[in-house]
Structure 1
């Protein structure tokens, strides 16, 4: 694993994945980066797909599925596989999906729901394993006002 890849844990406490993910993807696109959203649950990918088309009345976030034609051209790609067909610089892990090799990514986001005990436990185990491996980690949590604050 490349220690240069930043791995950021996002601890959801006040917001849902559907509320947070579109904004993080927008910021990623503003950097000029492509994004890969990986989930193990196909239904979750369906929910994210729908959300990215409709999360704001005045816009949508262009995206596609890895299983569709021209996946390599998508600025944001939704997948359940370990491949990176759109050469994304940012990887988003939104459930218990494997992180896999982070080589080639500038930043990886592990977004977990702190209100779900299994998700919280999984994030703690993942954090410890990555820390023990010498990964470049950061931990972000929401302030009472809902802003993201770097906590570690």
Structure 2
């Protein structure tokens, strides 16, 4: 059996100080940061509601794994198809969640994924079409058990 002496105890305490968790960051996204992230993706193109549907539950029990489905009204032909789907949040650590690149060979304009939500917030989905037009949908989500929490 190993006997602990004073040096071992002090060395153990010092090592705990070296591996302590970082303090909780207050660098959360804001609605303004989300708008800046959207503009970084689509530039000055006007964003219009419609043609895309964001399917997400309005009440989420656990923010660690939230199911999201994006669908768009598109024939998915070479002349008219969804080029990108994008997801943004206004209160996660990062406002830009994901971008999905599609094309006419995708067959259907549908993407299903899971994401984390740090707290109750608005989620915005965009569909960038092959002609450059940008369409949006938005959903307010209430999260009872938050994710993305450190510390």
> Where on the TM-score scale, by shorter chain, does this alignment land: which range?
under 0.3
More helix by share: 1
More strand by share: 2
**Larger Rg computed on CA atoms:** 2
Higher relative contact order (CA 8 A, sep 6+): 1
Normalised TM-score (structure 2): 0.25
